[in-house]
Structure 1
Amino acid sequence: MKAVQYREIGKGPEVVEIPTPEPGPGQIRLRVTAAGLCHSDWFVMDLPAEAYTYGLPLTLGHEGAGVVDKLGEGVTGVSVGESYAIYGPWGCGLCHACAQGQENYCTRAAELGIQPPGLGAPGAMAEYVIVDDKRHLVPLGDLDPVEVVSLTDAGLTPYHAIMAAQDHLRAGSTAVVLGVGGLGHVGVQIIRAISGATVIAVDTSDEKLALAKEVGAHHTVISGPEAAAQIRELTGGRGADAVFDFAGVQPTIDIAREVVAVNGNIHIVGIGGGLLPTGFFSTPFGASVRAPYWGSRSELMEVLDLARVEAVNVHVERYPIEEAPEAYARLHHGDVRGRAVVIP
Structure 2
Amino acid sequence: MKALQYRTFGQWPEVVEVERPRPGPGQVLLRVTAAGVCHSDLGLLARDADTYPYGSLPLTLGHEGAGVVAEIGAGVAGVRVGEPVVVYGPWGCGRCRVCATGAENHCPFAAALGIRAPGLGSAGSMAQYQLVNDARHLVPLGDLDPVRHVCLTDAGLTPYHAIRQSLPRLLPGSIAVVVGVGGLGHVAVQMLRALCPATVVAVDIDDDRLALARGLGAQHAVRTEDTAELVAGLSRGTGAAMVLDLVGSPATTDLAARVAARGADVSVIGVGGGAVPVGYRTIAFDASVRFPYWGSRPELFEVLEMAAAGQIRVEVETYSLDEAPVAYRRLAEGRVRGRAVVVPD
Query: In the alignment, what sits opposite 2:117?
Result: 116
Is contact 2:174–2:235 with CA below 8 Å preserved after alignment? Answer: no
Q: CA deviation at 1:233?
A: 2.0
Distance 1:204 1:144 in 2: 31
Query: In the alignment, what sits opposite 2:282?
Result: 282
Query: In the alignment, what sits opposite 2:21?
Result: 21
Distance 1:10 1:239 in 2: 43
Distance 2:267 2:50 in 1: 29
Q: CA deviation at 1:263?
A: 0.9
SS in 2 for 1:247: coil
Query: In the alignment, what sits opposite 1:325?
Result: 325
Query: In the alignment, what sits opposite 2:191?
Result: 190
Q: CA deviation at 1:272?
A: 1.1
CA distances 1:299-325 after superposition (whole Å, capped 9, x unpaired): 000000000011000001011111000
CA distances 1:217-266 after superposition (whole Å, capped 9, x unpaired): 10011013x43223222322111000000011111101000000011110
Distance 2:323 2:234 in 1: 43
Query: In the alignment, what sits opposite 1:4?
Result: 4
Residue identity opposite 1:191 in structure 2: L
Root-mean-square deviation (Å): 0.8
Residue identity opposite 2:322 in structure 1: E
Residue identity opposite 2:173 in structure 1: G
Distance 1:293 1:338 in 2: 20
SS in 1 for 2:76: coil
SS in 2 for 1:112: coil
Residue identity opposite 1:291 in structure 2: F
Distance 2:275 2:260 in 1: 16
Residue identity opposite 2:313 in structure 1: N
Query: In the alignment, what sits opposite 1:73?
Result: 74
Q: CA deviation at 1:280?
A: 1.2
Residue identity opposite 1:188 in structure 2: V
Query: In the alignment, what sits opposite 2:250?
Result: 250
SS in 1 for 2:112: helix
Distance 2:230 2:289 in 1: 22
1:61 matched to 2:62? The reply is yes
Is contact 2:186–2:213 with CA below 8 Å preserved after alignment? Answer: yes
SS in 2 for 1:312: coil
Distance 2:12 2:265 in 1: 37
TM, length-normalised to structure 1: 0.98
Distance 1:208 1:287 in 2: 29
Q: CA deviation at 1:296?
A: 0.3
Could you list the runs of 5+ residues in structure 2 that have no partner in the other structure?
none
Distance 2:109 2:256 in 1: 32
Distance 1:92 1:2 in 2: 29
Query: In the alignment, what sits opposite 2:336?
Result: 336
Query: In the alignment, what sits opposite 1:136?
Result: 137
Q: CA deviation at 1:68?
A: 0.3
Distance 1:107 1:238 in 2: 38
Distance 1:168 1:307 in 2: 24
Aligned length, in residue pairs? 343
1:261 matched to 2:261? The reply is yes
Residue identity opposite 1:154 in structure 2: A
Is contact 2:191–2:312 with CA below 8 Å preserved after alignment? Answer: yes
% identity of equivalent residues: 57
Q: CA deviation at 1:171?
A: 1.7
Q: CA deviation at 1:134?
A: 0.5
SS in 2 for 1:143: coil
Distance 2:296 2:250 in 1: 28
CA distances 1:40-71 after superposition (whole Å, capped 9, x unpaired): 11111112321102231010000000000011
Residue identity opposite 2:333 in structure 1: H
Q: CA deviation at 1:274?
A: 0.5
Q: CA deviation at 1:97?
A: 1.1
The equivalences for 1:164-243 within 5 A come to: 164-224=165-225, 226-243=226-243
Distance 1:76 1:162 in 2: 33
Distance 2:99 2:271 in 1: 24
SS in 2 for 1:209: helix
Could you list the runs of 5+ residues in structure 1 that have no partner in the other structure?
none
Residue identity opposite 1:73 in structure 2: A
